Structure 1
């Protein structure tokens, strides 16, 4: 999981140290709340960018998100470079620190990159890259320092071979595996979730960026009966009207989704066009538990979209359940106080606001002003809604 994240001159985040949020501490389950335009989605996008650049190019990332390179840097940072840095806990108690810097608007591309591994209380550099010059330092005895000159529009991690490099560079392999499994679902589009899809191969073992190939994704899970039964029970636990989920293979290889529900004691089967947005989203999140490879980081924007307030608790519970496997970290945003009421721990809630000069401020909810006194009278969402950002931030724990 990401332990701490630093963002400099990226979208809502300034390059001015006095107006930039210090390292953002993240939990296995982190929920970001705050006003529109405060920078919540920027945090998701920064993590997503690390994932994209670990396996693909800057152009591929820009095309997938319909971004322009000039849109990446902070609006007032004409000449500044964008920097993203994360401290990550990896398997087997390993820890890495990864910093990736992109050039200014006038100098697009990767300007520099460094990767360090924790050795006791110190940090040892294993990748140092400036422009085209790259140095890779040994992790195992008997391996010398390697230097190369290469123009690469992505992270050096995109060159890592997960099998061939495992013995020589175990930290880089673990970091590449982690980064390549970051998955962002900014908007699970009901139109995409409802659409029929065609395909049965391994590429359908997970959901598309906006919910594409949902029917084929469920079809792959259905080929594993125990996993599919577990999916249905997971949805039914929070949506008792569900009777069954049907994945129908029809002509020319097209796969269609249907759902049977019970209303007033009678069963009815609906095709995907007739199923509610909220139920489709619940099924999608429930299905994420059954991916062949669990996401390392799951990013979801505005998780309350399309859901009846009584269903929000179930969605939060399913997301928290994902984190308990130890292999997936969940980072989500919400504008819903009701959603926040269901979050288990105050440490999991970060309040994102704008400070002096419009800089982004990120404050753990349990460190906001008068939190301890207010918490005695309010649930988390009620506290946020009734006190408001102006009262809660700035503040220090216990004040």
Structure 2
């Protein structure tokens, strides 16, 4: 489970820190930085397993010169991700992964990478631009510098991405790599992409939902029935989901709408409404067969009737309770907020200097008191933001002075 994210000098994130629960909803105004938080987590996940930073930036349409915050004169961009990995036998490990980059015009360099086990206060990975060390607490193994494991230290990729044959001696690092690989970002979900035919072997619906057809086609009948059952809770007249293999391996899908006096109508994916497509995609996520899965979703309520908010949140709770999973979502909706436990709600905002702040919305007795006669969403909308933030972020009230 991801426990926290810290970031400094990345876009609007300066001296930024946010903490997570198994289910976390991040709220805030438009442009407050909600999506940026999910993007950083996805970036770190990709960095841990791939060696193509420029390819990732191109996919995100990120310009390297625009990554560094314009509010900070420093050149270094710093990320720190805290997480617990629960599959390491009987060990209770809590890791902190610290990654530092620097940019120069249109180039980016890795300055430092470290992983520390917090409970034992021991580093299991240390790397700078000239040397590295790998340690195992469990196996008491050590590898140091290029003499034991030659690599080009100037290349901007994570040491985790090259752990192969030597990795068996460092089980903590292998489990960390697998955990980071299982962070799945769906914050780019697009109904236009969901409608398209897809092909190939897949294990999820794709970053933008572009692999939805192939993923549905590969499900067992039992898993597909499970998806249909979830969809029917939202849309009772959907009776079936059908997939078809087309030429050259392409797969399409359609839904069957059934009404009282009719046998049913098949609706091709290109004619399915945006709302139904999003519900179908969200319902399919639980069928991803991966333990310790972390799901990132942006604007969870998009295209979904507000009256279905409780069903949606209940499905998220059911999802995290199966196979030790975590969900981090963003939302603009006060209505959907009413269905979360108050401890799961994090608010983000822009300070007067343009930096982004973050805090648990109900982090003290003074704010929790309002839940005696208001729902969480009502607390959010009935306060002026400056007044609410003075309650939520009491340690830094100077930020709100004119």
TM-score, structure 2 length as denominator?
Answer: 0.89
Distance in 2, matches of 1:129 and 1:240, equals: 55
The answer as to 2:3 corresponding to 1:3 is yes
Distance in 2, matches of 1:132 and 1:173, equals: 23
TM-fit CA distance, 1:96 = 1.1
Query: Equivalences for 1:102-117 in 2 at 5 Å?
Result: 102-106=101-105, 108-117=108-117
The equivalent residue for 1:373 is: 369
Q: 2:318 aligns with which of 318, 321, 336?
A: 321
The equivalent residue for 1:72 is: 67
Query: Equivalences for 1:136-285 in 2 at 5 Å?
Result: 136-140=134-138, 143-148=141-146, 150-161=153-164, 165-166=167-168, 168-199=169-200, 201=201, 204-221=202-219, 224-263=220-259, 266=262, 267-285=264-282
For structure 1, which runs of at least 5 residues remain unmatched after alignment?
15-19
CA-to-aligned-CA distance 1:251-274 (integer Å, 9 cap, x gap):
443322111123465432211122
Distance in 2, matches of 1:219 and 1:28, equals: 30
Name the SS of the counterpart of 1:357 in structure 2.
coil
Question: Which stretch shows the higher mean deviation, 251-260 or 345-354?
Answer: 251-260
TM-fit CA distance, 1:382 = 2.0
CA-to-aligned-CA distance 1:191-232 (integer Å, 9 cap, x gap):
111112233x3xx221221111211111011xx121111121
Q: Judge conservation of contact 1:12–1:360 (CA < 8 Å) in 2.
A: yes
Distance in 2, matches of 1:265 and 1:151, equals: 69
TM-fit CA distance, 1:295 = 6.5
Distance 1:352 1:141, change over 3 A: closer
CA-to-aligned-CA distance 1:292-335 (integer Å, 9 cap, x gap):
32573211111111112123333222222221125321111111
Q: 2:83 aligns with which of 82, 88, 94?
A: 88
The answer as to 2:387 corresponding to 1:391 is yes
TM-fit CA distance, 1:190 = 0.8
The equivalent residue for 2:30 is: 36
Question: Which stretch shows the higher mean deviation, 142-151 or 5-14?
Answer: 142-151
TM-fit CA distance, 1:124 = 0.3
Note the aligned Cα RMSD (angstroms): 2.3
TM-fit CA distance, 1:169 = 0.7
Distance in 2, matches of 1:62 and 1:398, equals: 37
Query: Equivalences for 1:334-349 in 2 at 5 Å?
Result: 334-343=331-340, 345-349=341-345
The alignment of Structure 1 onto Structure 2 pairs a total of residues equal to 383
Distance in 2, matches of 1:214 and 1:348, equals: 29
Distance 1:371 1:144, change over 3 A: closer
Query: Equivalences for 1:358-369 in 2 at 5 Å?
Result: 358-367=354-363
Q: Judge conservation of contact 1:352–1:362 (CA < 8 Å) in 2.
A: yes
Q: Judge conservation of contact 2:291–2:323 (CA < 8 Å) in 1.
A: no
Name the SS of the counterpart of 2:383 in structure 1.
helix
Q: 1:286 aligns with which of 280, 283, 287?
A: 283
Distance 1:375 1:290, change over 3 A: same
For structure 2, which runs of at least 5 residues remain unmatched after alignment?
396-402
Distance in 2, matches of 1:197 and 1:388, equals: 47
Distance in 1, matches of 2:63 and 2:338, equals: 37
Distance in 2, matches of 1:136 and 1:169, equals: 8
Name the SS of the counterpart of 2:385 in structure 1.
helix
Name the SS of the counterpart of 1:108 in structure 2.
strand
Distance 1:105 1:324, change over 3 A: farther
Distance 1:256 1:190, change over 3 A: same
Name the SS of the counterpart of 1:302 in structure 2.
coil
Q: Judge conservation of contact 1:117–1:171 (CA < 8 Å) in 2.
A: no
Distance 1:142 1:335, change over 3 A: closer
